[in-house]
Amino acid sequence: MKEPALALTDLRKDFGKTSIIRGVSLSVVAGERHAIIGPNGAGKSTLFHLISGRFPPSGGTVALHGHDITGLKPSAINRRGLSRSFQVSNLFPRLSVSENIRCALLWSTGYRYCFWRWADRLSDVSAKVEDVLTRTGLSGRRDVLAGVLSYADQRALEIGIAIAGGADVVLLDEPTAGMSHSETRRTIDLIREVTIGKTLVMVEHDMGVVFDLADRISVLVYGEIIATGTASEIRASKAVQDAYLGTAGTAH
């Protein structure tokens, strides 16, 4: 059997006495597009923070390609090939769009803490910057400071930074949040295109996006995964209908 790209085993997170993540086990195979859905406050973003190293888990393990990464720093996890985007845009606001992407490429291209080369004359990095600019549709705004971009462009840059470094496991936290219908369509196409050959785990509220994009879906409710399966399996699941889709369906 193939090693899963990302495997969570009984992952837990407590904040004080409150348990936010209460024993999540999940296995994502390489090349899969996996969506995590769930009502507000279910712990979806917290789960991402545990996987990407922003918070240390209170218990359980995270394995990336079979290697234990539990409790590692975000930088160490990123260097092992996992990158992520944020629900609230988390850019370098006083750097230009192309500099944002360039920075996201420097470590993975091998320049690390180099101070004897010109950052903007590294032909290998520059070629990749161009590629990411084209794929995210930001070529025309390359010299604009990230902090003054429009919301949709900031979201595109957010994804661009996440995929630039060539990580093979990508976590996207609500990539289409707050977007108009046409922007959402464009973003879905972008995600589909940039994650070819990669493993994608995404948190998403928009059911249209989820059913359109994901190979498999996990439903997170109160810090526990109550169901995992294909779109049709999830639609058919009684537990999901009770816990989530039924209520969410009327709420949305």
Interface positions with other proteins (CB under 8 A)? 52, 54, 73-75, 78-79, 83-84, 86, 90-95, 99, 102-104, 106-108, 111-120, 122, 161, 164-165
Closest CA to 104 of 51, 161, 150, 156: 161
Closest CA to 66 of 153, 149, 111, 4: 4
Q: How far apart are CA 44 and CA 210, in angstroms?
A: 14
- Least distance from C-beta 165 to other proteins, angstroms? 6
- Least distance from C-beta 5 to other proteins, angstroms? 18
> Which C-beta is closer to other proteins: that of 107 or that of 222?
107
Q: How far apart are CA 41 and CA 23, in angstroms?
A: 16
- Least distance from C-beta 78 to other proteins, angstroms? 5
Strand 199-203 to 169-173 pairing: parallel
- Least distance from C-beta 45 to other proteins, angstroms? 14
> Which C-beta is closer to other proteins: that of 22 or that of 65?
65
- Check: CB of residue 162 under 8 Å from CB of residue 155: no
- Classify residue 135 by burial, with Cβ atoms within 10 Å: 0-12, 13-18, 19+: middle
- Least distance from C-beta 230 to other proteins, angstroms? 30
Q: How far apart are CA 200 and CA 212, in angstroms?
A: 14
> Which C-beta is closer to other proteins: that of 150 or that of 247?
150
> Which C-beta is closer to other proteins: that of 43 or that of 165?
165
User: CB count, 10 Å around CB of 123?
Assistant: 7
